[in-house]
Amino acid sequence: MTEKPHRGRDPDRRERILLATLEVIATEGVAGTTHRRVAAEAGVPLGSMTYHFAGMEALLLEAFTRLAEEMHADYAALLDAAHTPAEAAEAVVECISGDRIVTPRNMQLVCELWAYTGRIPVLRTVMQGWLGQSRAALGRHFDRHTVRALDAIVEGLTLHNMVDDRPLSREDVRAIVAKIVA
């Protein structure tokens, strides 16, 4: 006997809510993110928000954790593909200057995450995890001091290039990375 599908069952609803949360944050910022806006973006009833998430903090935690995991997967893939120190240095350049990780949407979300780690303490754990994973990926190629410097350069230059009216070229970034890894 075949089981009848349940009416109204939506197994992807929670996932859609998480993705919609990131979209709302990218366009409205954390301050403008409400359950109502996320529900509308996800195309779900407002009641689904509290059914799936205990509150806004829990929703933000999971959404930003998802962002960190997705961005780290790309970051780690670039570094894991490197087999020589020169390739690893070029992977760092790509992390800063390429369009695989550094998209306008991602950078807007990263800025929101950085800004709210001080206001919403649970988000600090997301950032700490992100930094730990980034440093571990870099640590497969570089010593601990170089890792810390490269980690700071990756975070800093991506943010600077986002707002600078004259962002650094890939060649400039390559020269900076070369000096750090030398």
SS3 69: helix
153 and 122 share a domain? yes
pLDDT of residue 142: 97
Residue 69 half-sphere exposure toward CB, CA atoms < 13 A: 6
46 and 68 share a domain? no
pLDDT of residue 11: 82
136 and 168 share a domain? yes
CB-based burial, 99-108: b 16+ in 10 Å, e otherwise = eebbeeebbb
Low-confidence residues of the chain, pLDDT below 50? 1-7
pLDDT of residue 6: 44
Length of the chain: 182
170 and 137 share a domain? yes
134 in a domain, yes or no? yes
Q: Are 68 and 56 in contact (CB under 8 A)?
A: no
- Residues near 75 by Cβ (< 8 Å), separated by ≥ 6? 95, 101, 133, 134, 137
Its pTM stands at 0.85
User: 44: domain CATH number?
Assistant: 1.10.10.60
Identity of residue 88: A
pLDDT digits (tens, 9 = 90+) for 5-45: 444 578 899 999 999 999 999 999 999 999 999 999 999 99
Report the alpha-carbon distance of residue 43 to residue 53 in Å, rounded.
16
Number of domains in the chain: 2
176 and 101 share a domain? yes
pLDDT of residue 56: 94
Closest listed residue to residue 101, CA positions, set 144, 134, 54: 134
Range of the domain at 48: 9-53
pLDDT of residue 3: 44
